[in-house]
Amino acid sequence: MSEESTPSELPSSESAPIEEKFDVIYKCLRCGTGVTNSELSRLPEIKCICGFRVFTKVRPPIVKTLNAV
């Protein structure tokens, strides 16, 4: 006997918490090409299209301000 899952047993999208997924963007130090983290993980080695291996993390445009305590 095989157990088949019915639609009522599957988790609904309404009850599951919404998980925001964002990719970190890295920029090549030599040529300035932007690459996401998921694109770098697919490659066999971390290297830009120009052959350079040094990347910097691009900061988000949102500025956080903190109040002093």
Residue 7 CA to residue 18 CA, distance in Å, equals: 20
- Give the model's pLDDT for residue 64: 85
Residue ranges of the domains in the chain?
25-57
User: pLDDT (tens digit, 9 = 90+) per residue, 9-59?
Assistant: 555 555 555 655 667 899 999 999 999 988 888 888 889 989 999 999 998
Dihedral sign from CA coordinates of 5, 11, 13, 15: positive
């963007």: which residue's tokens? 25
- Give the model's pLDDT for residue 62: 86
């599951």: which residue's tokens? 16
Predicted structure pTM score: 0.55
Residue 32 CA to residue 51 CA, distance in Å, equals: 12
